[in-house]
């Protein structure tokens, strides 16, 4: 199976109650290889919810205890983010995940970049909280911005062979 950010498949999991469908992933939505999950929902955050950002660093720093995740009201939601990441990790093991495709710049899912904690749409290099945990476990991570149809077909073929 391939773990995919739920919102990329058109599921309304985002903080604003909307989705961010990736046309390529939606095209293959019924291929039987996708395990959709939203780490923030898995961490028991509601839909809708205030937007949250890692405060001025990335997911790896959160796991090292060097920074926190706070929502736009200032509420510390770090524990929810970490709990959701651990659920993703557990499901990844259970379903023998062969690749992970996550939403870029999300504080949970960002693969190459996350917003910087200023709520000004400014990104900095680094991974989200769930992405960092899954990367640490050794999973191959891609964002929707990395995907081409050729790459997706390759990942699907590898998953079939596993």
Strands 69-71 and 2-5, bridge-based pairing: unpaired
- Distance, CA of 115 to CA of 26 (rounded, Å): 25
Using CB under 6 A, which residues numbered 58 to 97 contact ligand SF4?
none
Q: Which is nearer to ligand SF4, 13 or 62 (CB)?
A: 13
Q: Does 106 bind ligand SF4 (CB under 6 A)?
A: yes
Q: Which is nearer to ligand SF4, 88 or 155 (CB)?
A: 88
CB of 161 to ligand SF4, least distance (A): 27
Q: Does 98 bind ligand SF4 (CB under 6 A)?
A: no
- Distance, CA of 37 to CA of 15 (rounded, Å): 14
Q: Does 101 bind ligand SF4 (CB under 6 A)?
A: no
| CA distances, 107 to each of 11, 150, 159, 161 (Å) | 18, 28, 27, 32
In 10-127 the beta strands, taken as DSSP E runs, fall at 34-37, 52-54, 69-71, 99-102, 113-115, 123-125
Q: Does 116 bind ligand SF4 (CB under 6 A)?
A: no
Candidates 5, 55, 80, 98: give the one binding ligand SF4 (CB under 6 A): 5
Q: Does 117 bind ligand SF4 (CB under 6 A)?
A: no
Candidates 2, 3, 22, 38: give the one binding ligand SF4 (CB under 6 A): 38
CB of 108 to ligand SF4, least distance (A): 4
């Amino acid at each position: 199976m391939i773990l995919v950010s739920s919102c990329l498949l058109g599921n309304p999991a985002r903080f604003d109650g909307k989705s961010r469908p990736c046309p390529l992933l939606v095209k293959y939505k019924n291929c039987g290889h996708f395990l959709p999950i939203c780490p923030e929902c898995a961490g028991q955050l509601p839909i809708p919810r205030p937007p949250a950002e890692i405060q001025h660093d990335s997911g790896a720093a959160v796991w090292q205890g060097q920074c926190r995740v706070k929502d736009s009201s200032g509420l510390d939601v770090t524990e929810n983010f970490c709990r959701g990441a651990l659920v993703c990790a557990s499901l990844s093991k259970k379903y023998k995940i062969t690749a992970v495709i996550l939403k870029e710049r999300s504080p949970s899912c960002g693969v190459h970049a996350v917003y910087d904690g200023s709520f000004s749409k400014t990104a900095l290099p680094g991974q989200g909280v769930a992405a960092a945990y899954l990367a640490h476990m050794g999973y191959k991570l891609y964002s929707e911005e990395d995907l081409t149809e050729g790459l997706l077909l390759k990942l699907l073929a590898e998953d079939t062979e596993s």
